[in-house]
Structure 1
Amino acid sequence: MKLQFLGTGAGVPSKERNVSAIALDLTQERGTAWLFDCGEATQHQILHTKIRPRKIDKIFITHLHGDHIYGLPGFLSSRSFQDGITPVTIYGPKGIAEYISVSLEVSRTYLRYPLHFHEVEEGLLFEDNQFYVYCKKLEHAIDSYGYRIIEKDSPGELLAEKLKLNGIQPGPIYQQIKENETTILADGNTIKRADFIGPNKKGRVVSIIGDTRYVAELASFIKDSDALVHEATFAQDEDEMAYNYYHSTTKQAAELARAGDVNQLLLTHISSRYQGESIDQLEAEATVIFPNTKIAADLLEWEINQK
């Protein structure tokens, strides 16, 4: 599991940063990728990565400001031309289905695959045998949401040495033991999987917070995240401007990460006023409060390893 930052700028693109888009690469876990926001030129950014558009099957939109959605019609269209035939589900605030439908209809774009829309609300948004995705409303000029992705715990390692000590030698029987609660051996004996498997591997947690003012209550939503992606549009001394424009500062994001006891804070949505050496200053502001902070750059890959 890894995060691929496709756009880390705010409002308008700059020479150093494209507008908002993040991919969660789940190739190893399920052979797919999920996209969070899709600002203009996201499909161009994907060309510089190993991500295949046809493998993206879920798109989560935080809010409907243009720098987060203007790349969607183009991406969806190009996916058709790149052998994308499997369904795509788009999650987002009310209006996302109308925006996409009108864009495709007016441009007379035909997709080779079905689109499904899901208007988001707070609470559990999605669950399957591997993941939960939760949604939380934020505080922005328009409806904006954060997403918490929780990987379910997976079975522990098979205790091969213990099996050998019990006279069970390596072979296909090991796979049978791992996959079944009970297994009948060739000699007629029955063994229980629970006796020969280690502790469950704890699932990873990623929280991706869309555009928002500082909201202290979000600490419970992002609690214990392995990685927290949070906007930091402004420097710490611009808290009044951040409030007026419904955004957050580096300091506020770091304070939230500390309160939520997360493992890593990744800052994005950086205003174009900050470039070059000023980026190092922004990072320094945050690390004073929360040491495990990094300002994401376009095309940064961030591995989220299992504990």
Structure 2
Amino acid sequence: MQLTFLGTCAGTPSLQRNVTAIALTLSNRGDCWLFDCGEGTQHQFMRSALKPGKLEKIFITHLHGDHIFGLPGLLTSRSMGGVATPLTLYGPKGLKAFVETTLSLSASFVTFPLEIVEIEAGEVYRDGGITVTAWPLSHVVECYGYRIEEQDKPGVLDAEKLQADGIPRGAWFQRLKQGETVVLEDGRRVNGGDYLGPSIPGKSLAIFGDTAPTPVACKLAANVDVMVHETTLEAAMAEKANGRGHSTTVQAATAAKQAGAKRLIATHFSSRYSFADCERLLAECQAVFPATELARDFAVFEV
């Protein structure tokens, strides 16, 4: 999986950074999922290597403008560009009314199948390979963080052991790789599980919406490979940040440490901070959680 940050600013854009949008590319199938869609996201999309036709799902954390004002433009441009593949939106109650009202009042339309799913806390999507769950956060409006988990993959088939046991190559190898039992031409029953190495753990990541410090963070991001968390303000401004439902650098880093995350990507910085200032914010995070990285617009991270 691969994360591409299309916007890393909080509240309002700056000359250097756009408001929130994060794309997740699924390496096993090439599909793209978008998490939040702030104003100007379609422009950021065009400036990146991402392809609109690959966009399959959009997960909205909450209905503040810097997280959803880009939706109407993205949806209509997708139609005008001739993209016909289905798209599903997930987000809090009110998302359907927002999309339908803005499209209706602007006499806009979509030409592709569009489904809007208004979510509650719990599992919101599962396809056999990936599960997405939503967790309620501590913000001034209903807001969620999303945990994305890949299913563990079967271990590697031990070709040498198969050869030593006199099991010939054949179409049944694919079934053995899945741990199934097959019957060979000579009547022998072979259990694929006996020839598989240890299973390969699937990747996991947690993408937080806006939030003040919350105990939910430990469960949402428990032992994830990558945790994406807002760091709206510096440590010295904790009272202001928390009063508006946001977190500071130190609070985000502490949440990552307590959750046992392997990596933290800090994002959603107030527009008051320049690139140079963000390096100082990164240092505050790393003092608590060394495995912290700084998101910038168009930065790409492998999961």
TM normalised by structure 2 equals 0.96
SS of the residue 1:116 aligns to? strand
* Contact preservation (8 Å) 1:254, 1:289: yes
Would you say 1:297 and 2:296 are equivalent positions?
yes
Q: Any gaps of 5 or more consecutive residues in structure 2? A: none
- Report what 1:195 is aligned to: 194
For residues 109 and 118 of structure 2, the distance between their equivalents in structure 1, rounded to whole angstroms, comes to 23
SS of the residue 1:206 aligns to? strand
TM normalised by structure 1 equals 0.95
* Contact preservation (8 Å) 1:136, 1:145: yes
The amino acid that maps onto 1:104 is L
Shift of 1:86: 2.1
For residues 178 and 205 of structure 1, the distance between their equivalents in structure 2, rounded to whole angstroms, comes to 23
- Report what 1:276 is aligned to: 275
For residues 156 and 89 of structure 2, the distance between their equivalents in structure 1, rounded to whole angstroms, comes to 35
What's the C-alpha RMSD, in Å, of the aligned pairs? Answer: 1.4
SS of the residue 1:47 aligns to? helix
- Report what 1:91 is aligned to: 90
- Report what 1:210 is aligned to: 209
Shift of 1:180: 6.1
Shift of 1:170: 4.2
* Contact preservation (8 Å) 2:145, 2:220: no
Query: What does residue range 211-226 of structure 1 map to in structure 2 within 5 Å?
Result: 211-226=210-225
**Residues 1:135 and 1:196: Cα distance change in structure 2 (over 3 Å):** same
- The aligned length equals 303
SS of the residue 1:141 aligns to? coil
- Report what 2:227 is aligned to: 228
Shift of 1:169: 4.2
Query: What does residue range 1-307 of structure 1 map to in structure 2 within 5 Å?
Result: 1-26=1-26, 28-179=27-178, 181-304=180-303
SS of the residue 1:103 aligns to? helix
The amino acid that maps onto 1:63 is H
**Could you tell which deviates more after superposition, 288-297 or 43-52?**
43-52
Q: For each residue in 1:278-303, what CA deviation from the matched residue of structure 2 results, as whole angstroms up to 9, or x when unmatched?
A: 11110000101000001100111110
* Contact preservation (8 Å) 2:134, 2:145: yes
* Contact preservation (8 Å) 1:54, 1:83: no
Shift of 1:65: 0.7
For residues 38 and 105 of structure 2, the distance between their equivalents in structure 1, rounded to whole angstroms, comes to 20
Shift of 1:216: 3.3
Q: Any gaps of 5 or more consecutive residues in structure 1? A: none
The amino acid that maps onto 1:15 is L
